[in-house]
Structures are given as C-alpha cells and as structure tokens.
Amino acid sequence: MDTSIAIIGFGRMARAIISPLLERGDFLPEQVFGVVGNASSISEALNELREGVRVVSSNDDIAGMAWNSPLQVLAVKPQQLKKVRESASRFEHINQATKPLMISILAGITLETLQESFPGHICVRAVPNTPSLVREGLTGLTWGNGITSQQKDKVKRIFEPISEIFELPEHQLDSFLALTSSGPAYIALMVEAMADGAVAAGLPRHLSNQLVHKTFSGTASLLREKGLHPAELKDMVASPAGTTISALRHLELAGLRSALIEAVVLAAEKSRQLAEKMTS
C-alpha cells in the first residue's frame, strides 16, 4: 500500500488492526496517524506500536489532520459518533481527486448513518470479533455506495492478517455479530463452567483450566479439518449407556441447546434495536 492511514480511536481492536500491517510493511510508521480521546491514552497506544507512529489527543490542534488522510479507520465508541462527526465537518474534501475511504468498526452504526454523517466519504462497515486480537478472528464487511473493486481489495488486505473475511449484505451483519462477536462470551462461559465441573469432580484448578482450553481448541480443529457435522462428532464420542450420553442427556434436560439458540437470536435482535436507536 502506498497511502497513509488515519486511526480515529486507538483502542485494542484498532491496535490489533494496524500492528500486523506495520510488521509486514504495508504501512511505514510515519504513514500512520492516530487520534485518541484524551492525552492520557497516548502512551498506552504507542506502547504496542512501532516507533515513528504518531498519536495525538482529539483536543490537539493537529488532530484534524486525520481527516486529510485518504484512508480512515473509525474505531471510537458508537456514542462518540456525534462528537467525531462535528470534528470532521470542519474539514472539506470536495477538492480531493477521490473521496476518502472510511472503514467503520462501530457496532450498530449503519451505512446510512455513516454516509449522512460523512457525506464526503466512501463508507464501509466492518465487524471484527475479539479473537482478531490474536489474529484468529472473523470479520464481516458490508460495502457502501460508490466503492470500487480496488478499494474493496484495499479494505480486505487490512483485515486479512487478523481474520477470515466474509462479505455480507448489511441486513445480515446483526446475525453475524450475534454469532461471532458475542459468541466468544458464550464460549468463555462454557469454558469456565466446564473447568468448574472438573474442579468439583476432583481435578486441581490449573489443570482443569489447561485441559478445557485444549479440549475446546482441539474439538474446533477436528470439526473444521475433518469437515464433520457436530452431530457426527457427538455420535463418535457417545457410546451406548456410557458417560458421555449420560452427560448429554442431562444437558438436553437442562435446555443447553435451546438456551444457546435463543442467546444468538436475542443478541441479533438487540443489535438491530441498538441500530434503530442510534439512527432515530
């Protein structure tokens, strides 16, 4: 890439996005310009980045330089959108040969709202999940009006180092978020509960934690690499009148399956409600 990039909001996800791009040389440190909410956050942002990256407070006189960049990543909290929009409105882009490309990772902020807030931009919605912090993530992308195939490729190259990418119509992003963004919390809850069960059954805590982590990661690898349906794997493990089928029977009676289904549906519905609230 031969262009500069501005990061508006330099939290953990923003740092996870830019770090591998710097490592592989897609951007030089001096091509990265970041803006954070207050000066106290600058040192935290710079600690994880290469020397030469410039990060300033939104109150700094030169913070407006971010809006001169041809490529911008909007990574603030959704409730900060109004303040960011007011800041951006002071800078005109009408004299640029091409409109700046804005990638928003703000949950619940629709393309329509983004385009109304930043009319001089080409907008993209991106939904990366937290495993992107260890470069094992998933990212959903929805394209705004007027975007070119070259710009799409540019956006995909930004998220490729940290995640697998899925191009989706915007109406599917809520379901994508409910599964991939909220999903790590469901899994973390199950990991914690299973480890507690092992402790209750007699294993030491440190060993229970180690074993449950490996059980989850190994099972996911087995399902993916062998192309197994989950029911196939379940039947491989559950022998007649054995320990596993007894445990599965208890989980079915407790409603685990339906609880997980409803959790994903409820999260998707909540995401839609938040989007409606933000646009009303």
Does this model's pTM top 0.85? My answer is yes
pLDDT of residue 87: 80
Least confident of 21-35, 75-89, 186-200: 75-89
Least confident of 100-104, 116-120, 136-140, 217-221: 116-120
Instruction: Dump pLDDT digits (tens) for 76-93.
Output: 998 899 889 888 877 655
pLDDT of residue 1: 47
User: Has residue 174 got a pLDDT over 90?
Assistant: yes
pLDDT of residue 275: 79
% of the chain exceeding 70 in pLDDT? 96
In this predicted model, which residue has the larger pLDDT, 11 or 142? 142
Length of the chain: 280
The residue ranges of every structural domain in the chain are 5-171, 181-270
Average pLDDT, the chain: 92
DSSP of the chain, one letter per residue?
A: --S-EEEES-SHHHHHHHHHHHHTTSS-GGGEEEEESSGGGHHHHHHTS-TT-EEEETTSGGGGGGGGSSEEEE-S-GGGHHHHHHHHTTS--TTSSSPPEEEE--TT--HHHHHHH-TTSEEEEEEE-GGGGGT-EEEEEEEPTT--HHHHHHHHHHHTTTEEEEE--GGGHHHHIIIIISHHHHHHHHHHHHHHHHHHTT--HHHHHHHHHHHHHHHHHHHHHHT--HHHHHHHH--TTSHHHHHHHHHHHHTHHHHHHHHHHHHHHHHHHHHHHHH-
- Greatest distance between any 2 Cα atoms in the chain: 74
In this predicted model, which residue has the larger pLDDT, 134 or 87? 134
* Other CB atoms within 10 A of residue 20 CB: 15
CATH of 181-270, one of 3.30.70.100, 1.10.3720.10, 1.10.3730.10, 1.10.10.10: 1.10.3730.10
Superfamily of domain 5-171: NAD(P)-binding Rossmann-like Domain (3.40.50.720)
% of the chain exceeding 90 in pLDDT? 75
Instruction: Dump pLDDT digits (tens) for 105-114.
Output: 998 899 999 9
Range 121-133 burial, b when 16+ CB lie within 10 A, else e? bbbbbbbbbbbbb
Least confident of 74-83, 170-179, 208-217, 229-238: 74-83
Report whether 111 contacts 123 (CB < 8 A).
yes
Give dist(CA 258, CA 183) in Å, integer: 15
Instruction: Dump pLDDT digits (tens) for 56-75.
Output: 998 888 888 899 899 999 99
* Other CB atoms within 10 A of residue 268 CB: 19
